[in-house]
Amino acid sequence: MKAGDAAAQPGDDRDIGYIDAHVHVWTPDVRTYPLAPGYQKEDMQPPSFTPEELFHHARPAGVSRVTLIQMSFYGYDNSYMLDVMKKHPGVFSGVAVIDENDRPAERMAELQKQGVRGFRIRPGDRKPDQWLSGEGMRTMWRQGAETGLNMCCLIDPEFLPSVDRACREFPETPVVIDHFARVGIDGTIRERDLANLCALSKHKNVTVKVSAFYALGQKTPPYTDLIPMIRRVLDAYGPERLMWASDGPFQVVPPHTYQASIDLIRLRCDFLTDSDRNRLLRKTAERVFFA
């Protein structure tokens, strides 16, 4: 089935293809979609990753829907992502980036009407005890609780305890942890980091992306060294709170491939049941980003 042939409805159990919960797209047309200050066209590597280029990888792998993550090249201007979503109705959901100090609740409401279901937040140069403490960020978490919009955290393991504190303060805010909180990004999967990631499972509204295999552990296909970590988070969260994602286009830079990423879940984690795989590859992302 081609992407866009059908759009899922809540509760629909039809097999309409897998969902990739994390992809970045960008265009070389920087005249129509200018880059944010501090970025040059040379920073875009690969130089282009349009929806059509994504479909070249995703469709053969059985992926029919995708969650787009606003790319840093565009700063707070979500225009390209939003235009892609409009051009392909039913195919894409979106995670936007906004300035937490510029009318965040109003901006979140505006973007929600345009199909955005989450907001990427990251510490930047702030310390773990600082990045979630500002009034703008607290407004975002409150708005997330009221509207069901996800706080999508791109963090390293040392920031997990700060997310735990925020979850205790805002227990109804849905939270998504990107890429296992980058546990193992330096090549070593540390027990302390993995334990902190699993400890967040006590918060009922936290979901984890099983993703970015190219960047974690040994960083080598077929990524079987990551299987014990997948098993640990599965035991902690259950399949209903895990979702696979590629992190394209970075996952398709040789020697990595899109197919190798999805096949780690489809074929190589032999402890997963068919129901588990359906959750990781479709149903969880459907609930979080497409309901």
Among 130, 111, 131, which residue's Cα sits nearest to residue 121? Answer: 131
Q: What are phi and psi of 270, to 5 degrees?
A: -70, -10
pLDDT at 10: 35
Cα separation values, 237 from 87, 165, 212, 225, Å:
35, 18, 19, 20
Distance CA 16, CA 134 (A): 42
pTM over 0.85? The answer is yes
Residue with tokens 């193992």: 184
Task: Compute, in degrees rounded to 10, the torsion defined by CA atoms 159, 164, 167, 173.
Answer: 50
Tokens for 61?
A: 């792998």
- CATH number for the 18-290 domain, one of 3.10.20.30, 3.40.50.2020, 3.30.70.20, 3.20.20.140? 3.20.20.140
pLDDT in tens, the chain (291 residues): 333 333 333 333 344 799 999 999 999 999 999 999 999 999 999 999 999 999 999 999 999 999 999 999 999 999 999 999 999 999 999 999 999 999 999 999 999 999 999 999 999 999 999 999 999 999 999 999 999 999 999 999 999 999 999 999 999 999 999 999 999 999 999 999 999 999 999 999 999 999 999 999 999 999 999 999 999 999 999 999 999 999 999 999 999 999 999 999 999 999 999 999 999 999 999 999 999
Sequence spans of domains, the chain: 18-290
pLDDT at 16: 76
Burial of 91 (0-12, 13-18, 19+ CB in 10 A): buried
